[in-house]
Amino acid sequence: MNSPPLSQRTNAALLRLRHASKPLEFGQILKELLDHDEGLEKVAEIIERRIDNGGYVLSEQLALLVSRTKSASLYTKSREQLFANDWELLTLYKGRYPDSAIEEKLCDRLYQTSSDDAEPRRHFIIDAMREVGSEHVLPTLEAILFDLKPTVRIKQILADAMKVPDDEHPQEFGHPLLYQLEASSRAKFLESVALAIDAIRRRNITAEKADAEDAQSDALRQVDDTNNAQRAKEQVIRYLDDDPLLAVMLMRIGAEALAKDLYRHLGHEEKGKPARKMMLDELLKPVKDSDAPEVLKLIMQALQLFGNFAAHHQGEQSKYLTRDIASAVLALYEQAQAIYGEWSKLQR
């Protein structure tokens, strides 16, 4: 199949790019072509010749071009340059360039920077993994979650211990605000890690089911969400003794999966917003007005409240969320699964 003819503007830009001799001029023309996203295969050919002749191309522009064209030959010639910069790797990763080494390198970088609360890369990497990550990143994410969760409390304890006597001498007793900010930053990062784990598992299950039975994709999504809710429970049991705060956070993730299945079961997805794009708060709004069991609605609201508490920094109040409390919340979670399972079968 022939490609559609290029616009006069693109043809002119390609000619100027081919004959550009000054680096600044070359970069400006390349930016123009990337912005208009037309004729990029021909752009890749010009870039390859430039590299062959010893010319230099900005890494940012190279990464964008490779991620959009998926040009294997250009990637091969520029791979060493692109791997020298994590930001360019992120561009390739989010563009789903098919090289597993990209994900492996980002996994290593995430693990190396995970405990540095001032490092911005870890947030960008985890967001990218939540969006496109494969199951191969899960061991790294789970290790980070396990290793760093206790340190949030340590930082908070340090912040609480350094009480500032007055506003006029805020540094006489250390830097409690610094520890407070670090604890908050780490808690938010770990919440992102937990959400990424859930998203990757859900995406993998969906892909596996869709490949096997593509004609029944709607039903499979429902199965996926109930499976996600069950897997969340298994993770809760794993962390219940050592980290009740994390266990409650994971129950909120499971409750969201259960709510998505309930949202679909009630028929709201047929003419409304897709459940996969909704968060727990939004999912529970139509549930409140439904004919679902009232006890189930109350339990879901309780799981939301406890989950929100666990997912956000609460200072010294977090110490009251003990294993006994988490066990009680787990009992509610299990009842929600049981009630929903029994009620949904009767509705079919």
pLDDT digits (tens, 9 = 90+) for 281-308: 888 888 888 888 999 999 999 998 998 8
181 vs 248, which has greater pLDDT?
Answer: 248
pLDDT at 83: 94
Other beta carbons within 10 Å of 267: 11
Alpha helix segments (H runs only) across the chain: 8-19, 23-36, 40-52, 59-69, 72-83, 86-94, 100-113, 121-132, 138-161, 176-212, 217-239, 244-265, 268-271, 280-288, 294-311, 323-347
pLDDT for residue 268 is more than 90:
no
What three-state secondary structure class fits 132? helix
DSSP 243-286: -HHHHHHHHHHHHHHHHHHHHHHTTHHHHS--GGG--HHHHHHH
Task: Determine the average pLDDT of the residues in 60-66.
Answer: 95
- The label of the residue with tokens 């760093």 reads 148
Q: Is the pLDDT of residue 309 over 90?
A: no
Whether the full predicted model's pTM is greater than 0.85, yes or no, is no
**Residue 215, pLDDT score:** 34
Count Cβ neighbours within 10 Å for each residue of 134-149 and write b for 16 or more, e otherwise.
eeebbebbeebbeebb
- Predicted confidence at residue 212, as pLDDT, reads 47
| Encoded tokens for 251 | 């129950």
**Per-residue tokens: 150:** 């206790």
What are the tens digits of pLDDT across the range 104-139? 999 999 999 998 888 889 999 999 999 999 999 999
pLDDT at 172 over 70: no
Q: Tell which wins on pLDDT, 197 or 166.
A: 197
What whole-number distance in Å separates Cα of residue 332 and Cα of residue 7? 62
Answer whether residue 188 shows pLDDT above 50.
Answer: yes
Q: What's the full length of the chain, in residues?
A: 348
Q: CA-to-CA distance for 39 and 180, rounded, in angstroms?
A: 51
Confirm if 321 and 263 have CB atoms less than 8 A apart: no
Residue 217 has a pLDDT of 45
Q: What is the mean pLDDT of the chain?
A: 82
Portion of the chain with pLDDT greater than 90, in percent:
42
First to last CA, the chain: 47
| Closest among 170, 194, 171, 190 to 182, alpha carbons compared | 190
- Which residue pairs from 315-321 have beta carbons closer than 8 angstroms and sit at least 24 positions apart in sequence? 315/156, 315/160, 316/156, 316/160, 318/153, 318/156, 318/245, 321/244, 321/245, 321/248
Domains, the chain, ranges and CATH?
Answer: 8-85 (no CATH), 99-212 (no CATH), 215-348 (1.20.120.330)
